Chains A and B, each alone.
Chain A
Amino acid sequence: MGKKKEFVIALAGNANVGKSVIFNQLTASHQIIGNWPGKTIERKEGYLIYKGYKIKVIDLPGIYSFSTYSEEELIARNFILEEKPDFVINVVDAVNLERNLFFTLQLIELNVNLIIALNQMDLLEKTGLTINIDKLQNILGVPIVPTIAIENKGIDKLIEKCIEIYEKDIKVKPFEIKYGKEVEERIKVLLDQLPENSSYPKRWLAIKLLENDEDVLKRFKDEKIISKAKNLAQELENIHGEPISLILTQEKYNLSNKITREVLIKKEKKFNFSNYFDKFLLHPFFGYIILLILLFLIFYSIFGIGSIISDFLDTIFEKIKTILLNLPISNLSKKIFVDGILDGVIGGLSVALPYLIPFYILLSLLEDSGYLARMAFFTDSFMHFIGLHGKAFFPLMLGFGCNVPAVLGSRILETKKQKFLTATLATLVPCSARTIVILGLVGVFLGFKYVLIVYIIDILIIFIVGKIFSLLVPGKSYGLIMEMPPLRKPSLKIVLRQSWFRIKDFIYFAFPIIIFGGFLLQILSLTNILNYFVNLISPFFTKFLGLPPLTSIPLIFGILRKELTLLMLFSLFGTEKVTSFMTPKQIIIYSIVTLFYFPCIATFAVLRREIGLLNALLITIFEIIFAILMGGLLNFIL
């Protein structure tokens, strides 16, 4: 009575354990997807109304540990420490108990109100094993609710457990993790010196001080205690010959190994389907053939389905446009609203979105089935040539269709540097719009041989830029370290739902930029500023690039959608016979400039989202300069 019927739940756990699925089941349609403040890491938040309660749910990044070596880990940790959610639900993969418990032990140390969702029990039983839940609950001292997230089983119980604890005002009291004698002695020394009223859990703080945890040292001001902790840590390192954080990691793993052995029960030996299929999927020869076939099917379905939807939307929009143009309104507003804004929206809706829908569905399918990890494993070695690793293969591959999903896909890479590299390279991959331009210009007027040359140049440049950037861009870049989830049948419902959230998200953040871009361009052209600008750069176009002065106009409008660089060229010169106003050399230069000069506005919008505004601008400026230099170079040598 009298207690507010509101509380906050944070979902924490390893990657690939079904955390997002539980989040989606909990919050259904009330979701806000954004980024963590100042970061480019996705933040998902939602709420649900249950038995009169308004419960806020936050999906923390999927991580394996709370050390501070990745942004995700720091974000998750600081959220728990600072925002102090009422409950932390630790989603634990039953199939992968030992490693998941290692993370649970860290949550226990953080002294939070912990509830465990023991997920994928069905999959575990399929392998002939089961878990003694009561025993695990007794050992950990944490309430455990078994769930099968993809079938929406156990989710209600999870919430009811939270409400029960909330109403009875119980504090979950897990067992205390004890380390070796030498470590415990030193933890005690620090505990005696730490102030009572610290906002952090005391024992946790003592442990982190011993570990020389960078983030804690930054926030914890007491120099005396810090230097004491450093001395104690040094003593421990002398005893064990290893950094203290590694010793504690090792001890926690030993503990989770012990617990796992106690609670895991072998029922019967069952045939392991995942291992069986992996024999084919990861076969050094057939594996690649399967990969090639799958890639072909993926492309075919993304661009097959995509172009059908795209054409369909185009027809509808053209009709709408005709209707709007016939409305009795002034020509000026027609120009601004119909040409400016609608063209941008049409670009976004009929170009990016149709490819994005099948892309997201296939991405979810590949992710959920576990094949995406196998693809990364397989392509790892040659992605090293461009300074990346296997996980970057799929996003970059997709770039050939459309750069937008490719840039969005860079999210699956771990470090900031790798995300940046993947996103940058993705914008250089010749997408379908650029392919139209190259085929329509180089292909039609110069022949297929030259198309091939243009493509080879492009791919070479991707390799060179990748290599150079991987050396120049600061930051960490590890080799491939990736969990290989067991293969499983994806749930179509989950896949569709997940895709829907992602597409909605894309519309929210990309469309304002697309609309604004189109609007701005029209305003500029109506107010003659654009003309002025074109006149300003025309001599440069003629002299440095050797192109006809008028070609700067389609290039500017090509920012909205790259195929405009071809279509506007035709309308501007009033003929589709390009050779009547451009020499073969000019055609090559024009195509190369089109390839590199600017990621289209939709790509820019997602770049901004994935790597931040500043980086997106940097890449864009780099590419404009690069394209001009390339064009100039070709003009000079050809």
Chain B
Amino acid sequence: MKEEKEEILEYLFRKKGEASTEEIKKEFNFINLDEILNSLINENKIIIENGKILLTEKGSIEGEDIKNKHEFVEDFLKNIGVPENFAHEKACEIEHHIKEDKYKSLIPLSEVKEGEEVEVVLIRGGRGFVQRLCDLGLTPNTKIKILRKAPFGPIEISVRGYNLALGRGVVSKIWVRKKSS
């Protein structure tokens, strides 16, 4: 039932936290939909009011997490050449199998602090863009150190013994893993 619950939370989150019961019934034709909804209510993740299903704060946080996870997987799949519509579908299946702690240790490079060392996990973007960064040495598992962050976004990193400056847009497309985990 975990998967079904997650899908409903994600759907609600994408709908800005509310949807009518009708809509949910139409979107998810699970046999045990009532049971699932009740379970979500018991967990304090949704409430039902005047025929509308609303996300609670707790549900909203979880919904957002699932949505992020979904997008992460989808980007990853597109990145390795899986066609777009297929990537979306597959991402729905895979997202439920990702262990929370593993996923959480992945962060965009933009969120890493000055002076920290991280490992490159994946780069989002078109093939040319990804190849370009790889050609400069930012291949998966490469250790990089954040030397400094300039005001408003660009950062300077040290990679493979030299220093590289990356603009804000570029930085947000590089996903890294903290070394400790």
Q: B-contacting residues of A (Cβ < 8 Å)? A: 64-65, 67, 69, 95-99, 102, 237, 241-243, 245-246, 249-250, 253, 257, 260, 278, 282, 284, 287, 373, 376-378, 380-382, 384, 389-390, 476, 478-486
Contacts and interface: CB of A to CB of B under 8 A. Distances in A.
24 contacts: A64-B135, A97-B161, A99-B161, A237-B80, A241-B80, A245-B131, A246-B130, A246-B134, A253-B134, A253-B142, A278-B148, A381-B152, A381-B154, A382-B152, A478-B170, A480-B166, A480-B170, A481-B132, A481-B133, A481-B136, A481-B164, A481-B170, A482-B164, A485-B163
B137 interface: yes
Given A99-B137, A478-B170, A380 B150 contact: yes
A241 B139 CA distance: 14
A479 B167 contact: yes
A479 B166 contact: yes
Given A246-B130, A246-B139, A380 B163 contact: no
Contact of B164 (A241, A257, A382, A484): A484
A69 B161 CA distance: 24
A482 B139 CA distance: 16
B165 A373 contact: yes
B81 interface: yes
Contacts of B52: none
Given A282-B150, A377-B150, 14 more contacts: A65-B135, A67-B135, A96-B161, A98-B160, A102-B135, A237-B81, A377-B156, A382-B152, A384-B167, A389-B167, A478-B132, A483-B136, A483-B164, A485-B163
Among B152, B153, B165, find the residue whose CB has the most chain A CB atoms closer than 10 A: B165
B140 interface: yes
B135 A98 contact: no
Given A384-B168, A389-B167, A484-B163, A284 B150 contact: yes
Among A95, A245, A485, find the residue whose CB has the most chain B CB atoms closer than 10 A: A245
Interface of B: 80-81, 127-137, 139-140, 142, 148, 150-154, 156, 160-170
B144 to A, nearest CB: 13
A483 to B, nearest CB: 6
Among B80, B132, B134, find the residue whose CB has the most chain A CB atoms closer than 10 A: B134
Nearest to B160: A98
A478 B135 contact: no
B163 A249 contact: no
Contacts of A69: 128, 131-132
A523 B3 CA distance: 82
Contacts of A95: 162
A480 to B, nearest CB: 3
A257 B160 contact: yes
Given A69-B131, A478-B129, A381 B153 contact: yes
A380 B168 contact: yes
B150 A250 contact: no
Nearest to B159: A99
A113 to B, nearest CB: 24
Nearest to B142: A253
A345 B134 CA distance: 49
Contacts of A102: 135, 137
B167 A484 contact: no
Contact of A479 (B135, B161, B169): B169
A249 B170 CA distance: 20
B104 to A, nearest CB: 21
A481 B168 CA distance: 10
Please list the 3 inter-chain residue pairs (A to B) with the smallest Cβ-Cβ separation, ordered nearest first.
A480-B167, A479-B167, A381-B152
Nearest to A254: B139
Contacts of A282: 148, 150, 156
A242 B131 contact: no
